[in-house]
C-alpha cells in the first residue's frame, strides 16, 4: 500500500557512523575539495599553486552525507574530514561559511584529530575553540565557521544543523577571517 506523506516528510532511516575512524562508511553523497578549489583562501597563493602542480592537487577535505530535505524541521548532518597539511606555513583549513539563514546554529562533535574551529560574526566578534576527539563545538546562530587541522591525523567531526540553514560562502570569500593559523618553527601560531 502506498504511503501518503506530507511534503517534506520522509521515512525514518539509520546510518552507520564509524566512530573509531571518524567516517561514514556508506554515504550517498561525497563532496570533495581539492587544493585547486582553495584558490584565494590562503595567505601564500604561490605555495598553493605549487601544491596544485607539483603536489598533484591533493584532497583537502571531504564531506560525507546521506542528505535529508533542506527544509525547516529537518536536521542536516554529515561527517566532515579535513586532511592534515600546510600551504606554505598555513595549516589546512575549510573554506568557511555563514549559514544563509542566519538564525541557524550548528554542532560539531569532533571524532578524531586535532585543530581549531575559528568563528566570526559580521559585526567583528571573533572566537576560536579547540577541536579534539570527544569535544563538541557549538557554533551559535550568525557565526561564520571554519575548521583548521593542526595535527598529523585527519580532523574528523560529526556535524548537525537545521535543514533550512543553507551555506553562504561568498561573504567569507570577500571578508576572510581576522586570524590565520600557521605552523612556524614547529609551533602553532595564530596571527
Ligand atoms: C555545514 C558544516 C560542515 C562544512 C564542512 C566543510 O554547515 O559546517 O559540514 O560544510 O566542514 O566546510 P565548508 O566551509 O567548505 O562548507
Ligand atoms: Zn555550517
Cα 98 to averaged position of ligand 2 atoms, centre (Å):
7
> What are the grid coordinates assigned to 163, written together?
535543514
> What are the grid coordinates assigned to 72, written together?
525547516
* CB neighbours of residue 155 within 10 Å: 31
> What are the grid coordinates assigned to 86, written together?
600546510
Name which of 83, 90, 129, 85 is nearest 108 in CA terms.
129
Name which of 65, 70, 90 is nearest 80 in CA terms.
65
**Which atom in ligand 1 lies closest to the alpha carbon of residue 147?**
11
| Sign, CA torsion 161/162/164/168 | negative
Cα 80 to averaged position of ligand 1 atoms, centre (Å):
7
Cα 147 to averaged position of ligand 1 atoms, centre (Å):
8
CA 190 – CA 184 distance, rounded (Å): 10
Half-sphere exposure of 90 (CA within 13 A, CB side): 18
Cβ distance 106 to 166 under 8 Å? no
Q: Is 51 exposed, middle or buried (0-12, 13-18, 19+ CB in 10 A)?
A: buried
Tens of pLDDT, residue by residue over 123-175, are 999 999 999 999 999 999 999 999 999 999 999 999 999 999 999 999 999 99
Q: Where are the domains of the chain?
A: 4-190
What per-residue confidence (pLDDT) applies to 2? 47
Pocket of ligand 1 (CB under 6 A): 61, 63, 78, 80, 94-97, 106, 145, 147, 159, 161, 167
Cβ distance 33 to 95 under 8 Å? yes
Q: How is domain 4-190 classified at the architecture level of CATH?
A: Sandwich (2.60)
What per-residue confidence (pLDDT) applies to 8? 72
**Which atom in ligand 1 lies closest to the alpha carbon of residue 99?**
7
Where the chain has pLDDT below 70, the residues are 1-6
**Which atom in ligand 1 lies closest to the alpha carbon of residue 172?**
14
Cα 54 to averaged position of ligand 2 atoms, centre (Å):
31
CA 128 – CA 187 distance, rounded (Å): 17
CA 80 – CA 106 distance, rounded (Å): 13
3-state secondary structure of 29: strand
Which residue of 64, 67, 80, 163 sits with most ligand 1 atoms within 8 Å of its CB, as the best mutation to test the pocket? 80
Amino acid at each position: 500500500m502506498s504511503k501518503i506523506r506530507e511534503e517534506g516528510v520522509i521515512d525514518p532511516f539509520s546510518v552507520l557512523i564509524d566512530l573509531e575512524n571518524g567516517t561514514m562508511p556508506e554515504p550517498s553523497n561525497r563532496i570533495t575539495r581539492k587544493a585547486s578549489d582553495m584558490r584565494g583562501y590562503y595567505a601564500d597563493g604561490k605555495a598553493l599553486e605549487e601544491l596544485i602542480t607539483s603536489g598533484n592537487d591533493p584532497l583537502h577535505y571531504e564531506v560525507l552525507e546521506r542528505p535529508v530535505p533542506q527544509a525547516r524541521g529537518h536536521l542536516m548532518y554529515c561527517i566532515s574530514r579535513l586532511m592534515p597539511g600546510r600551504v606554505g606555513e598555513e595549516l589546512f583549513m575549510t573554506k568557511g561559511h555563514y549559514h544563509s539563514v542566519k538564525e541557524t546554529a550548528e554542532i560539531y562533535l569532533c571524532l578524531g584529530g586535532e585543530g581549531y574551529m575559528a568563528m566570526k560574526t559580521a559585526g567583528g566578534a571573533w572566537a576560536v575553540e579547540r577541536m579534539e576527539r570527544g569535544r563538541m563545538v557549538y557554533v551559535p546562530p550568525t557565526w561564520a565557521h571554519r575548521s583548521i587541522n593542526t595535527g598529523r591525523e585527519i580532523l574528523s567531526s560529526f556535524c548537525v544543523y537545521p535543514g533550512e540553514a543553507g551555506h553562504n560562502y561568498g561573504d567569507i570569500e570577500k571578508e576572510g577571517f581576522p586570524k590565520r593559523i600557521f605552523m612556524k618553527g614547529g609551533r602553532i601560531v595564530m596571527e
